[in-house]
């Protein structure tokens, strides 16, 4: 679908769902995996689910629970439609991280970001209990529908050395076998879901609560463990300091390996293969 046809679709949905909003200027903000995301008149965000089973009720439930309980800004849903399915909220402050920030990130910036994100995760986990998450019907966190051996068998196009390293990470974590507490999870911690102050570079907001779930604490960090190991380790350090709870670092790396294997095992994720290769190499470098 072209951007213009997507815009026409969005305009049609907004006109039907929220006619009183009279949106004039509508631009696509993100061609997401689960939602079409648009900004209207530079002041309001709308999310339109791409699939009928998108857990938007669970997303709204979690955001209502977290309202005013976390220090970073999160969406405050004030528009809701079931026919057509759509939600909206006021535009949050900040911009996405710029590439030049990531090229040579300053240690002080990593430390500050780690403190902010560890505090955000701790506040989420303290606000919503594991029992509440289960009772609300949130899913258990799973990176892939396949077992590890099935992933190994299906990832035929993966570089043999990368594949062997992914297996090594998995086996090491399995050998350590340390159990860890389970919790409500935000479930989607990566830079694409964070907004920053363009001057101070401090994180200002967290987006996209469509993956709220429950599971092992280390699962919160599967994406950063591969994408940015130093930040991941810094978050773990800060989280443990705040909470007194130990996070299994080996398990976080194991989850990163499973994610990389799943990208090669599932054809629908094939567009992410270059990113998965980079993650495996970063994990190797961080040993």
Distances (CA, A) of 103 to 34, 90, 97, 228: 29, 31, 11, 12
Per the listing, tokens 């190991």 go with 229
Give the CA angle between residues 172, 145, 121 to the nearest 5°.
Answer: 65
- Give mean pLDDT, residues 169-188: 81
Q: What is the CATH number of the domain that holds 86?
A: 3.30.200.20
Q: What is the pLDDT of residues 77-98, one digit of tens each?
A: 999 999 999 999 999 999 999 9
Are residues 10 and 128 both part of a single domain? Answer: no
Region 88-114: mean pLDDT is 95
Q: Is 104 found in the same domain as 85?
A: no
| 47 and 105 both lie in a single domain | no
Distances (CA, A) of 272 to 2, 264, 268, 278: 21, 9, 9, 10
Examine the domain organization and report whether 177 and 60 are in the same domain: no
The last residue of one of the domains, among 67, 90, 113, is 90
174-176-178-184 Cα dihedral, nearest 10 degrees: -50
Pick the last residue of a domain from 90, 111, 127: 90
Q: With a cut of 80, say whether residue 174 has pLDDT above it.
A: no
* Three-state DSSP class for residue 244: coil
pLDDT in tens, 34-69: 899 999 999 999 999 988 899 999 999 999 999 999
**153 half-sphere exposure, CB direction, 13 A CA radius:** 5
**Could you tell me the pTM of the whole model?**
0.93
Q: What is the rounded distance in angstroms from the CA atom of residue 255 to the CA atom of residue 108?
A: 27
What tokens does 200 get?
Answer: 């101070």
pLDDT for the residue numbered 9: 85
With a cut of 90, say whether residue 172 has pLDDT above it.
no
For residue 175, the model assigns a pLDDT of 61
- 162 & 30 share domain: no
Distance of CA 57 to the CA centre of its chain: 18
- Per-residue pLDDT of 147-159, as tens digits, reads 999 999 999 999 9
109 has pLDDT over 80: yes
Q: Do residues 157 and 191 both lie within one domain?
A: yes
Looking at every residue in the chain, the average pLDDT score rounds to: 92
177 and 78 share a domain? no
- Give CA–CA dist 272/259, Å, rounded: 10
Are 68 and 119 within one domain? no
Residue 182, strand partner residues: 216
Residue 4 to residues 8, 12, 121, 209: CA-CA distances in angstroms?
Answer: 6, 12, 37, 27
φ/ψ of residue 35, rounded to 5: -140, 150
pLDDT bin (cut points 50, 70, 90) of residue 178 is low
Domain count across the chain: 2
Dihedrals phi, psi of 169, to nearest 5 degrees = -60, -45
Calculate the alpha carbon distances from 194 to 7, 69, 120, 175, 253 in Å: 24, 18, 12, 34, 22
Q: Both 116 and 79 in a single domain?
A: no
Q: pLDDT digit string (tens) for 207-263?
A: 999 999 999 999 999 999 999 999 999 999 999 999 999 998 889 999 999 999 999
Can you give the residue range of the structural domain that contains 269? 99-285
Q: Is the pLDDT of residue 179 over 80?
A: no
Instruction: Assess whether 69 and 199 both reside in one domain.
Output: no
Q: What is the CATH number of the domain that holds 193?
A: 3.90.1200.10
Domain-terminating residue out of 31, 64, 90 = 90
Structure tokens at 140: 């258990």
Are the CB atoms for 160 and 169 separated by under 8 Å? Answer: no
**What whole-number distance in Å separates Cα of residue 192 and Cα of residue 199?**
18
Q: State the Cα–Cα distance between residues 77 and 47, nearest whole angstrom.
A: 10
pLDDT higher than threshold 80 for residue 266: yes
CA dist list (Å): 132 to 74, 129, 154: 20, 5, 36
Tell me which residue of 248, 269, 249 sits closest to 259, measured CA to CA. Answer: 269
Per-residue pLDDT tens digits for 4-27: 788 888 899 999 999 999 898 999
């Amino acid at each position: 679908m072209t951007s213009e046809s997507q815009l026409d679709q969005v305009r049609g949905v907004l006109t039907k769902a929220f006619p009183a909003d009279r949106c004039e200027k509508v631009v696509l903000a993100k061609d997401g995996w689960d939602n079409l995301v648009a900004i209207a008149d530079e002041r309001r965000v709308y999310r339109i689910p791409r699939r009928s089973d998108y857990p938007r009720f669970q997303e709204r439930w979690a955001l209502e629970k977290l309202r005013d309980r976390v220090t970073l800004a999160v969406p405050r849903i004030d528009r809701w439609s079931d026919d057509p399915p759509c939600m909206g909220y006021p535009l949050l402050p900040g911009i996405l991280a710029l590439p030049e920030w990531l090229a040579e990130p300053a240690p002080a910036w990593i430390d500050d970001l780690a403190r902010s994100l560890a505090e955000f995760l701790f506040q989420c986990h303290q606000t919503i209990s594991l029992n509440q998450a289960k009772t609300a019907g949130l899913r258990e966190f799973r990176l892939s529908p396949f077992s590890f051996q099935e992933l190994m068998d299906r990832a035929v196009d993966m570089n043999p050395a990368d594949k062997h390293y992914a297996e090594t990470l998995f086996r090491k974590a399995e050998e350590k076998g340390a159990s860890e507490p389970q919790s409500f999870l935000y479930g989607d911690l990566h830079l694409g879901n964070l907004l920053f102050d363009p001057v101070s570079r401090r994180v200002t907001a967290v987006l996209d609560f469509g993956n709220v779930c429950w599971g092992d604490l280390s699962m919160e960090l599967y994406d950063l463990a591969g994408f940015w190991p130093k930040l991941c380790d810094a978050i773990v350090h800060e989280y443990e300091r705040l909470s007194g709870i130990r996070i299994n670092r080996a398990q976080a790396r194991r989850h990163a390996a499973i994610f990389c294997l799943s990208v090669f095992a599932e054809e629908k994720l094939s567009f992410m293969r270059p990113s998965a290769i980079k993650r495996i190499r970063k994990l190797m470098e961080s040993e």
